[in-house]
Amino acid sequence: MAVRSTAAPPTPWSRSLAEAKIHATAFVHPFSNIIGDVVIGANVIIAPGTSIRADEGTPFYIGENTNIQDGVVIHGLEQGRVVGDDGQEYSVWVGNNASLTHMALIHGPAYVGDNSFIGFRSTVFNAKVGAGCIVMMHALIKDVEVPPGKYVPSGAIITTQKQADRLPDVQPQDKDFAHHVIGINQALRAGYLCAADSKCISPLLKEQVKSYTTNKVNGLERSNEVASSLGAETIEQVRYLLEQGYKIGTEHVDQRRFRTGSWTSCQPIEARSVGEAVAALESCLTDHSGEYVRLFGIDKGKRRVLETIIQRPDGVVATSTSFKAPASTNGSYSNGNGASYSNGSGSGKLAAETVQQISQLLAGGYKIGTEHVDERRFRTGSWNSCKPIEATSTSEIVSALEECMDSHQGEYVRLIGIDPKAKRRVLESIIQRPNGQVVTSGSSQRSFASAPSATATATATATRLNAEVVDQIRQILAGGYKLSLEHVDQRRFRTGSWNSSGTIAANSEREAIAAVESALAEYAGEYVRLIGIDPKGKRRVLETIIQRP
């Protein structure tokens, strides 16, 4: 396979004419350009349209298992160096298992640590991104050092060290998403190398391979799977789990018990190779035809990762799956960081954002509860608890929530997140209303009021607040309650360390709305929640988040 790489051009500051050093197991697309002193490690994939140009700033290093996707540009200034993990100086250092995704720009001096993810069209210039960081789309990181394990949201501009230090930590679902990208690109690398090798590709083209096998061509393990009942991506997921040191488990459940999340384990899988694991999975599928079957990985902490349904009662075996964090087996949701997950089997009763909230609460070690109230008692805040939820998995909690909603149709139902150590609430979110409407939008508001009236909608037309929040403000004032606001940044949000901005001294609804909007502008980039306070009982009658970062 032709690899398009050339020596560095002679310049006033360098006449070394250095050339790239590319590991034999790496895949470099011929429509990419690699110039100068660039070291490319084992199992790297460099996609079409990339430009890695060590002609001004030099040298560059790209670590093992890293993927450089379409349109990525890596360049460096003549001046300025970073210290790589080997103690040497580089213009650009990219560690192992990193992902530089479509159209990203890494401009030296720059350092990207192991297991880091740089999202679409994001820029890293004169900066260091620590190991295990997740940088989402269209972000700018310049003149700072981002500590390891930090999450940079889409569109963020991080140009001061204070901003970098205040970034939130990466969550488990973010790590799983980054691992998923690595796994997908390793499969692509093997596929591209196979396609360029007649010995590897011929059996596939002639459709002569009837069972799953592994062949080693030029020292590289390739997968050839045609007639297996498992999809190619499921097999690749199995390989990825084994390579990462995870154990593999399977569970099954019939249609009746599926809604209650009462899964039963299949026979334990003790396989040491992909072929053995695939055979065990197919045995489970055969033994439990007509049922749901799901695959998951188990880490050393005995926690589940990458839970995926691979068979459904109609006999359909999943042919295209996604590696995903432990999640609901009902419906689909997004992790909020650009990765969407769906198992296609849910009831659709809960909104995607609600399922995500449940997953995040569990990941944070919080407990989950539910409350309900009819329309008459809603205005007084007299909520009643539903049946306690002792479940520890997202799917079981979703089932419990739907049971509460079914039992209290025509009422408000809200989801509660509880910090068991501090014995306080960290989240309240209405998930059902008396008119049967379930919250389905991904809006940042968490509503605690009835559906907005036409009057409220008209009042809110010229404001930043939506009609529902305006209606809440109106109800609080009409009930003789006082208004207050609290705010908190992303890092302190998980600990519930809210800061009060004081009571709003407004004599009219319009003044109150103006005060709230002023606070939202002042605390842009933070969580802001609206508080209703009973001055006589000195207690809160309402808490609702009206702005998110």
Point out the residues that are catalytic: 56
- Looking at residue 453, the DSSP 8-state letter turns out to be P
Exposed, middle or buried, 309 (CB in 10 Å: 0-12/13-18/19+)? Answer: buried
Quote the longest CA-to-CA distance of the chain. Answer: 82
Angle at 174 between CA 301 and CA 48, to 5 degrees: 125
Give the separation between CA 480 and CA 33, rounded to whole angstroms. 69
Kindly report the backbone phi and psi dihedral angles of residue 521, in degrees, each rounded to the nearest multiple of 5, phi listed first.
-65, -40
Q: Which run of H or of E encompasses 454?
A: helix 454-459
- Residues 487/463, Cβ–Cβ less than 8 Å: no
**DSSP per residue over 127-190, as a string?**
EEE-TT-EE-TT-EEES-EEPTTBEE-TT-EE-SHHHHHTPPBPPHHHHHHHHHHHHHHHHHHH
Smallest Cα–Cα separation from 380: which of 537, 195, 145, 183?
537
Give the separation between CA 503 and CA 520, rounded to whole angstroms. 15
Cβ neighbours of residue 206 closer than 8 Å, sequence gap 6 or more: none
Instruction: Give 343's strand partners.
Output: none
- Directed axis angle between helix 172-195 and helix 232-243, to 10°? 110
* Token pair belonging to 371: 């409350």
Give the separation between CA 82 and CA 104, rounded to whole angstroms. 19
Dihedral angle of Cα 214, 215, 220, 221, to the nearest 10 degrees: 0
Smallest Cα–Cα separation from 323: which of 185, 149, 224, 189?
185
Name the H helices within 229-383. 232-243, 255-258, 274-287, 352-363, 375-378
Does residue 261 come out as left (phi exceeding 0), alpha (psi in the -120 to 50 range) or beta?
Answer: left
Does residue 42 come out as left (phi exceeding 0), alpha (psi in the -120 to 50 range) or beta?
Answer: beta
Exposed, middle or buried, 272 (CB in 10 Å: 0-12/13-18/19+)? Answer: exposed
CB atoms within 10 A of CB 65: 24
Instruction: Indicate the SS3 state at residue 253.
Output: strand
Kindly report the backbone phi and psi dihedral angles of residue 511, in degrees, each rounded to the nearest multiple of 5, phi listed first.
-65, -40
* Token pair belonging to 318: 């999943």
